[in-house]
Amino acid sequence: MTDKVLFVDDDPQILSAFKRGLRKRFDVTTAEGGAAGLELLKKEGPFAVVVSDQQMPEMDGVTFLKQVKQKSPMTVRMMLTGNADQKTAIDAVNDGQIFRFLNKPCEPEQLAVAVEAAQAHYRLLAAERELLEKTLAGSIKVLTDVLALIDASAFQQTARLQRWGHKLARFMRLENAWALNMTIMLHGIGRITLPREVTQKLRDGTELSAIEAEMVARTPEAARDLIKNIPRLEGVARAVYYQAAGYDGSGFPGDGMKGEDLPLEARILRILSDLANASEDDRPAPVIFARMAKAGGLYDHDLLKSAYHCLAKKGEATKAKAAPEVLKVELHNLSDSHQLAEDVMTETDVLVLAKGHRLTRPMIEKLRAYHKLRKIRQPLSVIVIEEDEEDDDAKRPQTEIADEVEVNA
Give the domains, in start order, of the chain with CATH numbers.
5-123 (3.40.50.2300), 156-321 (1.10.3210.10)
Pairing mode, strands 49-52 and 76-81:
parallel
- Is the pLDDT reported for residue 4 higher than 90? yes
The mean pLDDT value for 157-164 works out to 86
**Hey, how many other C-beta atoms are within 10 angstroms of the C-beta on 397?**
9
The pLDDT assigned to 191 comes to 86
Mean pLDDT of the chain: 84
Distant-in-sequence, close-in-space partners of 313: CB < 8 Å, separation ≥ 6:
281, 283, 284, 285, 286
Give the model's confidence band at 209: pLDDT under 50 very low, under 70 low, under 90 confident, else very high.
very high
266 CB burial (10 A radius; 0-12, 13-18, 19+): buried
For 365, residues 6+ apart whose C-beta sits below 8 A from its C-beta are: none
> What average pLDDT does the segment 183-212 reach?
88
Greater confidence, 95 or 397?
95
pLDDT category of residue 394 using cuts at 50, 70 and 90: very low
Region 212-229: what's the mean pLDDT? 92
Q: Which pLDDT score, from 0 to 100, does residue 173 have?
A: 83
Rounded to whole angstroms, the Cα distance separating 62 from 101 reads: 11
**What pLDDT, on a 0 to 100 scale, did the predictor assign at position 365?**
87
Question: Any idea which of 26-40, 153-167, 196-210, 365-379 has the lowest mean pLDDT?
Answer: 153-167
Q: What is the pLDDT of residue 321?
A: 52
Predicted local confidence at residue 314, as pLDDT: 74
Give the number of other Cβ atoms within 10 Å of residue 180's Cβ. Answer: 26
pLDDT of 402: 34
Q: What is the DSSP letter of 343?
A: -
Q: Is residue 276 scored above 70 in pLDDT?
A: yes
CA–CA separation, 189 vs 366, rounded Å? 19
* Cα–Cα dist 155/276, whole Å: 13
Average pLDDT over residues 287-313: 92
Q: Which of 78-87, 269-278, 303-312, 328-337 has the lowest mean pLDDT?
A: 78-87
- Average pLDDT over every residue of 189-206: 86
Break the chain down into helix, strand, coil percent, rounded to 5. Answer: 55, 10, 35
Q: Are 104 and 81 in contact (CB under 8 A)?
A: yes
Average pLDDT, stretch 306-328? 75
Calculate the alpha carbon distances from 83 to 123, 160, 198 in Å: 30, 50, 59
What distances in angstroms separate CA 192 from CA 18, 153, 184, 203, 299, one per listed residue? 55, 11, 16, 13, 28
Range with the lowest mean pLDDT among 134-138, 241-245, 267-271?
A: 134-138
Distance CA 358, CA 360 (A): 7
Evaluate if residue 1 carries a pLDDT over 70.
no
Within 13 Å, how many C-alpha atoms sit on residue 210's CB side? 0
How far apart CA 286 and CA 80 sit, in angstroms, is 46
Q: Where are the beta strands (DSSP E) in 335-399?
A: 338-340, 344-345, 351-353, 380-384
Q: Which of 372, 365, 381, 383 is nearest to 146 (CA)?
A: 365
pLDDT at 409: 38
Alpha helices in 279-377 (DSSP H): 286-293, 301-311, 316-319, 361-373
The residue-averaged pLDDT of 70-74 equals 85
Looking at residue 288, its pLDDT comes to 94
Say how far apart CA 30 and CA 17 lie, in whole Å: 11
Question: Does the pTM exceed 0.75?
Answer: no
In degrees, rounded to 5, the angle at the alpha carbon of residue 331 between the alpha carbons of residues 327 and 336 is 70
